[in-house]
Amino acid sequence: MKKYNNTYCVGKFPQLTRRVFTTADGLKSNNITAMAFDKKGVLFIGTDKGLSKFDGEKFVSFEVGCKDAAISMIAFDDKNHLLVGIGAKLLEFDGKKKVSTKEFPSDLVDVKVDLDKATWILTKKVMYKKPYGSDEYEITIGIPGEGTCLAVSKNNKTYIGSNGGGLNALSGKRWHWKELQSEVTNLVSDNINCLYLDPAGNVWMGTDKGVCVYDDHGYWLSNKEIPGLPSANITGMAVAENGDKYFATTTGLIHQHNGELSYYGYKRWLPSPNATGVALSPNGSICVSTDNGLSLFETKMMSLEEKAIELRNITETYNVKKDGYVLDRELDHEGIVSLDEGWIPNTDNDGMWTGLYTTALCYEYACTKDEKVRAMACRSINAMLKLTRVTGVEGFTARAIRYSDERNYGTGARQEWHFTKDENGADIEWLGETSSDEMVGHLYTYSNFYDLVANEEEKKPVREAVTKILNHILDHDFHLVDVDGIPTTWANWNPDLLNNDNKWIFEKGTNSLQILTFMLIGYHMTGDEKYKKVFDTLAADKHYAMNLMLYRIPDGHLCHIDDNHDFLMINLLMRYCEDPQLRAIFSMGLAHHWKEERCERNAFFNFTYGNITGEHCDIENAVDELVDYPMDQVAWSLYNSYRPDLVWNMAPVEMDMVPQLFDPLPAHERRIISSDCNRFTVDSGAEDVAKPITEQTDNPTAYTMFPSTGNDKGMMLSSCTNYTHAYWYARYNGLIKDI
């Protein structure tokens, strides 16, 4: 009996995307030195070689009357006039033409308009003030040290930050500076790069050692006291109307929202780890400058279903191979996704990955009855069925096939690749040494297609394929036997081996779960009592039912392949098993497994547990996973291990394996991975940035690059299955609903 039976309703949410711009898109230079949005949301970018204006698609030159001008500052006054700093010159534009030029004794650094509408100018040596309504800047006061940033409020409340001179507060009837430095206060560093005055009068400082907040009297806070304050080399700061704060750092962008920090780093989000500034548009866009171009973050309101459809459309465009196999696409150039280049190679598990994508289509069709989706599912099922026919051995399924015009045709381990011709006479080769993984993928997909999509005519070939596969397994003493007559390495469901040979101790429960599920699938599709009898014998006489009480042996979250298999199979076992006593036994194994996997926050695992048991399943975490999942499916290089907020699990080191986290990073911060991969790793393919960052820190966990955590270089486009399979499963089973 289900304990809970609630549907989690999900409204539209702001989906974040990003576009990268460089000189190829019209920027004067990739070295961004200043930027600002005007009051209408138009973006202006200053570089060391001039000024550009964004037209919505690309940047166009904005002439300032000086060739290759090194822009030091951009701001807008209360009339929306553009103020541009070039060395010691301040140029003012009314949108169409230059209306004034003012030259100062030293280089311009910052401009702010206070709440009294007065304009303040900071140069490296002197601060100036232009009262509201005046046309002249009045010399105000020289500054100690070298000025870097300015913050103003009203009634002449003014602060400046400096390079090495700490924080300076304007004070007194006879104006002078009150110097606040780390030696005599709790200021974390005397190198201040940006300032902000909040409505409560507190001063927010971005320093080279993190964010520090000062109450304007004698109280200071930093990351040492408040984890929600970033600890990084802060290079820029912007504050949204809702109070959200964005910090540019030398290791990426940090977003502070509701007291929590989110990280947007190299290279999924930024073209360089060295963010130099951040600016916010009135329409909600976020621009982050770097020393190698800029990223424009944009949001649009989207439902989970709209996201699923958009991701599926991308996959249908770029990830569908000949015959209908759906696999990751290799790119010819970093991050360039195009039909004019790149290709889709085979994997060792073409049936599994195509199957999971196809199952997502099956659930989608069951929810929407969209005939286009149905056609896609039929296409890819036929591709999978081809794998079951091409080997020439009845019931023995190929891992993959490839055609003679593919780039890697004729390569690989030749003892496992076999040349043949397909039904149309085309030269192909197929891959043997088929594993239990492939059988899980095929039978899981065939079952869902059979139950949710297929008409009677379409059920026949599926039923025939399943019958041949199961008979092959039974005829070969619960093994898959390859064309050479030798059982394959992992496809073993034999009772004597699983129960009595300790070399199979880790597969004992998992493979017991698989074969019991296989037999019920066969019985469900064919009605043949033979399969039910084998199920009963294995469950009782061979104590496979007892094996399922604890079918997954905890391994410290180091190997995840069987976790994925188990959650796929337990779905079908509980769908087809009607005996409540057996279901109660099987639920013991599921409960144990989910509690072990719960910390991974895997949406599909959580949904599975909730759907089968009716218990609370951390559905909020599952929905958060779907909402946070990035639209960009390119496998970008990632580097996170420098971060001070990470909590490391060092236990794997004792087994000569790499350290990993106790809790996985949010989806937008980690690798694009499937459910059979490790969510607790943080880096991939970022050796070029990891080493210099690590050399500058004393943090013993700032490893330069963890072995075996991946080698992503922006050269692969994943399919959308990780999102669509979990989402449509939950939708079909009534766990979530779009509103």
Name the β-bridge partners of 543: none
- Mean pLDDT value of segment 68-88: 91
317 CB-side CA count, 13 A? 13
In total, the chain counts a number of residues equal to 739
Query: In the prediction, which pLDDT does 645 show?
Result: 86
Instruction: Give the position of tokens 């493979």.
Output: 511
Q: What are phi and psi of 479, to 5 degrees?
A: -135, 160
DSSP string, 299-310: EEEE-HHHHHHH
The chain-wide mean pLDDT, for the chain, equals: 93
pLDDT in tens, 336-380: 999 999 999 999 999 999 999 999 999 999 999 999 999 999 999
Q: With contact defined as beta carbons under 8 Å apart, do 554 and 510 qualify?
A: no
Lowest mean pLDDT among 68-77, 239-248, 285-294, 315-324: 68-77
Phi and psi, residue 241, nearest 5°: -60, -30
Q: Which residue has the higher pLDDT, 697 or 491?
A: 491
| 3 pLDDT tier (thresholds 50, 70, 90) | low
> Model confidence over 104-135: pLDDT tens digits?
989 999 999 888 888 899 999 999 998 888 88
Answer whether residue 217 shows pLDDT above 60: yes
Sheet architecture: strand order including 427-431? 400-403, 427-431, 417-421
Q: Which amino acid is at 237?
A: M
What CA–CA distance (Å, rounded) separates 380 from 355? 8
Q: How far apart are CA 267 and CA 280, in angstroms?
A: 21
β strands within 94-188, DSSP E: 98-103, 108-113, 119-123, 126-130, 138-142, 147-152, 158-162, 167-171, 176-180
When pLDDT is averaged across residues 312-318 and rounded to a whole number, the result is 98
∠ at Cα 575 (572, 579), nearest 5°?
120
* C-alpha torsion angle, residues 446, 434, 325, 430 (rounded to 10): -130
283-300 mean pLDDT: 95
pLDDT for residue 294 is more than 90: yes
The one-letter code for the residue type at 36 is: A
Angle at CA of residue 230, ends 671 and 286, nearest 5°: 65
323 — pLDDT class (breaks 50, 70, 90): very high
CB 302 within 8 A of CB 13: yes
For residue range 6-54, list pLDDT tens digits in order: 799 999 999 999 999 999 999 999 999 999 999 999 999 999 999 999 9
Q: Where are the domains of the chain?
A: 641-713
pLDDT of residue 697: 55
Among candidate residues 205, 213, 245, 210, the one with its CA nearest the CA of residue 231? 210
pLDDT value of residue 19: 96
Cβ-based neighbour number of residue 549 at 10 Å: 15
Split at pLDDT 50, 70, 90, the class of 711 is confident
- To 10 degrees, what angle do helices 603-613 and 721-732 make? 20
Task: Compute the distance between CA of residue 27 and CA of residue 32 in angstroms, rounded to an integer.
Answer: 9
Strands (E), 355-396: none
Q: Are 166 and 190 in contact (CB under 8 A)?
A: yes
Per cent of the chain over pLDDT 70 is 97
**Could you count the other beta carbons within 10 Å of the beta carbon of residue 375?**
12
pLDDT at 239: 96
Amino acid identity, residue 119?
T
Q: pTM of this prediction?
A: 0.94
Distance CA 17, CA 370 (A): 27
Which one, of 374, 289, 276, lies nearest residue 21 by Cα?
Answer: 289
CA distance 655 to 542: 33
CA distance between the termini of the chain: 28
Q: pLDDT tens digit string along 584-600?
A: 999 999 999 999 999 99
In the chain, the amino acid numbered 538 is L
DSSP 189: -
The pairing of strands 8-10 and 736-738 is: parallel
- In this predicted structure, what is the pLDDT of residue 692? 64
Beta strands 71-76 and 50-54, pairing class: unpaired
Q: What is the pLDDT of residue 708?
A: 44
Looking at residues 447-469, what average pLDDT do you find? 98
pLDDT over threshold 60, residue 707: no
pLDDT at residue 703 in the model: 46
Q: Which residue matches tokens 């166009």?
A: 60
Please report, to the nearest 10 degrees, the dihedral formed by the alpha carbons of residues 312, 314, 318, 319 taken in order: -30
Residue 682 reports pLDDT greater than 50:
yes
